[in-house]
Amino acid sequence: DGGITQSPKYLFRKEGQNVTLSCEQNLNHDAMYWYRQDPGQGLRLIYYSQIVNDFQKGDIAEGYSVSREKKESFPLTVTSAQKNPTAFYLCASSRGDSYNEQFFGPGTRLTVL
Amino acid sequence: AQSVTQLDSHVSVSEGTPVLLRCNYSSSYSPSLFWYVQHPNKGLQLLLKYTSAATLVKGINGFEAEFKKSETSFHLTKPSAHMSDAAEYFCVVSASGGSYIPTFGRGTSLIVHP
């Protein structure tokens, strides 16, 4: 059963801590993406990767880091440099061209205590 | 360059009445256009997509959209709203030239009254 998974579903972080959000896909997709969603602001692109061992910054990359060591995995680290990290984070994957849709994971809700 | 404008941040309808969610786009290249739906605290699900074939596209759950190049629009419609249609809807454009990275609209919240 192919799909894209994210873990954990809920994550709580103390100020000053780094946290890592997991994203895994078994769809054999080349491209993977991380988005941040805040109420009333739609989706904002954090980072994307079109191929293993390569990734590019999106519109709001400051305070975040990623890696793409395997095709199936694209973890996102929210660092202490991200001043307002409380948000809903969505991971997506696609075949990596303009006419194929993205498949989204169920999301991780991060709350800073 | 590409952009998407969803013309309404909220749309309110009664159950059983038609739904219209409006989307205008701009793109320097031939666009692919998508509509996604998001229920609260969930990921996004594809409703339908246009990729330069038929201009009237049918999707899941009775939704359809028409690509109108002259109006640069891709409005989403449904003849009869159901309570389960209440959700956030996103219009997305992706272009074959340059970067294919999709651009999202800000979303339209569909409210369905009984």
Q: For B74-114, how does the pLDDT look when each residue is reduced to its tens digit (9 = 90+)?
A: 999 999 999 999 999 999 999 876 668 899 999 999 999 99
Does the beta-carbon distance from A98 to B42 stay under 8 Å? no
Establish if B49 touches chain A: CB-CB under 8 angstroms: yes
DSSP for chain B reads -EEEEES-SEEEEETTS-EEE-EEEEESS-EEEEEEEE-TTS-EEEEEEESSS-SEEE-GGG-EEEEETTTTEEEEEESS--GGG-EEEEEEEEESSS----EE---EEEEEE-
Tokens 């191929």 sit at which residue?
Answer: A51
Determine the Cα–Cα distance for residues A17 and A21; give it in Å rounded to an integer: 13
Pick the range with the lowest mean pLDDT from A3-7, B20-24, B48-52: B48-52
Please judge whether B46 and A97 are an interchain contact, meaning their C-beta atoms are less than 8 angstroms apart.
no
**Phi, psi values for residue A39, rounded to 5°:** -55, 130
Q: Count how many pairs of residues, chain A against chain B, have C-beta atoms within 8 Å.
A: 50
The closest of B6, B12, B22, B24 to B105, measured between CA atoms, is: B6
pLDDT digits (tens, 9 = 90+) for A60-100: 999 999 999 999 999 999 998 888 999 999 999 999 887 78
The alpha-carbon radius of gyration of chain A (Å, integer) is 13
Picking from B45, B100, B104, the nearest residue to A97 by CB comes out as B100
DSSP element (H, E) containing A70: none
Provide the strand spans (E) within A26-63: 31-37, 43-51, 54-57
